[in-house]
Amino acid sequence: MENSVGGVVIVVEDRERLAPKVNAILTSYGDLIVGRVGLPTGKRTSM
CB 34, CB 26: distance < 8 Å? no
Residue 40 confidence (pLDDT): 79
Integer Cα distance of 7 and 22 in angstroms: 16
Per-residue pLDDT tens digits for 10-34: 888 898 999 999 999 999 999 988 8
Whether 1 shows a pLDDT value over 90: the answer reads no
pLDDT at 45 over 80: no
CA dihedral (35, 41, 44, 47) in degrees, to 10, reads 30
Mean pLDDT for the stretch of residues 24-46? 83
- Please report the pLDDT score of residue 38 as a whole number: 83
Which residue type does 46 have?
A: S
